[in-house]
Structure 1
Amino acid sequence: MASVTARRALRDRVRANRAASAERRTVAQAARRVRTGARSLVTHVIATGADRKTTEGVADALRTVAKKKGVKGRRARIRRTFQGVKNHTLTVFRYTREQVARIAAQYKPRKAEYKAVRAALIAAA
């Protein structure tokens, strides 16, 4: 019979492997979607392999730069549950890889992680 600590160690390793696998799957899926068509800025940033907090920060900054530079994405309508209201319709914008590269070229980040994401976005075009 395995000891309690050995079972815990095994359980923790399985959980860590499962989480890492889910992260790899998310990045691969986002990269495939970006290659096939226009997607949101968040999807483009996820495709670079950035973590969640970095993704949110870079996507917000890219939205600001896009608005300042007048880069317009393709409009799309989506339905989401928002504050308990089902099928709440939102207008979102989808960007091609070339548009994202143009936006990223204008973006001047300060943090090292943000600079790495910027370089990956420019290289992906």
Structure 2
Amino acid sequence: MASVTARRAATVLRDRVRANRAATSEQRSAAQAARRVRTGARSLFTHAAATGATRETAKAVASALAKAVDRAGVKGHRYRTRRTAKGFLRHARTAFRYTRAQVARIAAAYKPRKPEYKAVRAVLIAA
């Protein structure tokens, strides 16, 4: 039977591995998003995720940027996306993709309040 110290050490190691795996996953997704943004027009969420922001922050910023599109006077590239439910029933919806320059114009019209949103905005404008 393992001692209490050995069980504690195993727990600490397991938690550390999980934390490292989560951090690596976020870094990998940010790097992939940055590569996609460099190659062409992408969704607002992809642009926000490419800044290295967390998933929740990127989602919130993308939502706010979508509201600022009209103020910026930018028209994105339309595309259709299809969702499946249990492998069938394709629901189509229209979405838009934006280039880096378009996102910079949209971000200039976006006035965030939270410091982390302001940081994402600064990176989007600089790109």
The question of 1:66 aligning with 2:69 is answered yes
Contact map agreement 2:71 2:109 (CA 8 A) in 1: no
Of 90, 107, 115, the residue aligned with 2:93 is: 90
Of 14, 17, 26, the residue aligned with 2:17 is: 14
Q: TM-score, normalised by structure 1?
A: 0.91
Equivalent residue number for residue 31 of structure 1: 34
Which of structures 1 and 2 has the bigger CA Rg?
2
Deviation at 1:85, TM superposition (A): 5.8
Equivalent residue number for residue 44 of structure 1: 47
Deviation at 1:90, TM superposition (A): 1.2
Q: Number of aligned pairs? A: 124
Deviation at 1:111, TM superposition (A): 1.1
Equivalent residue number for residue 56 of structure 1: 59
Which is further off, 10-19 or 60-69? Answer: 60-69
Unpaired segments ≥5 residues, structure 1: none
The 1:46/1:15 distance shift into structure 2, 3 A limit, reads same
Q: C-alpha separation between the residues in 2 aligned to 1:119 and 1:48?
A: 10
Of 79, 85, 90, the residue aligned with 1:76 is: 79
Contact map agreement 2:72 2:105 (CA 8 A) in 1: no
Which is further off, 29-38 or 57-66? Answer: 57-66
Deviation at 1:107, TM superposition (A): 1.1
Deviation at 1:53, TM superposition (A): 2.1
Equivalent residue number for residue 123 of structure 2: 120
Which is further off, 76-85 or 25-34? Answer: 76-85
Deviation at 1:83, TM superposition (A): 8.9
Unpaired segments ≥5 residues, structure 2: none
Q: TM-score, normalised by structure 2?
A: 0.90
* Amino acid in the other structure paired with 1:16: A
Which is further off, 60-69 or 112-121? Answer: 60-69
